[in-house]
Amino acid sequence: MPKKKRRSFSSGFKARIGLEALSGLKTVGQIARENKLHANQVSQWKRELKERLPQIFDKPGGESDERDELIRELYGKVGQLTIELEWLQKKAKALGL
């Protein structure tokens, strides 16, 4: 007897089912029956959607606040080193080096 192939669902379908479950208009059991799914699967997609929802509003590129601070620090260091180099060049000229 051949093995039964598992069904795979698109991310759009999972999102739609998860949103429907989050809305609370229907029970998880009703949503599962209407879409021929197991109630545990609907609950899992609902939980996953709830956990990942805050990431939608994150800034693009990850932690840009830390990145911005690092850039400010590096520009400050470059400015400091530039001033020190100019001072050393001036002093070297004065000493005839």
Q: Print pLDDT tens along the chain (97 aa).
A: 678 888 999 999 999 999 999 999 999 999 999 999 999 999 999 999 999 988 888 766 656 678 888 999 999 999 999 999 999 999 999 988 8
- Which residue do the tokens 């996953």 mark? 48
The residue type found at 55 is: Q
- Residues 74-84 as b or e (16 or more Cβ within 10 Å = b): eeeeeeeeeee
CB atoms within 10 A of CB 71: 11
55 DSSP assignment: G
- pTM score above 0.85: no
| Residue 45 and residue 14 in contact, taking contact as beta carbons nearer than 8 Å | yes
CB atoms within 10 A of CB 46: 20
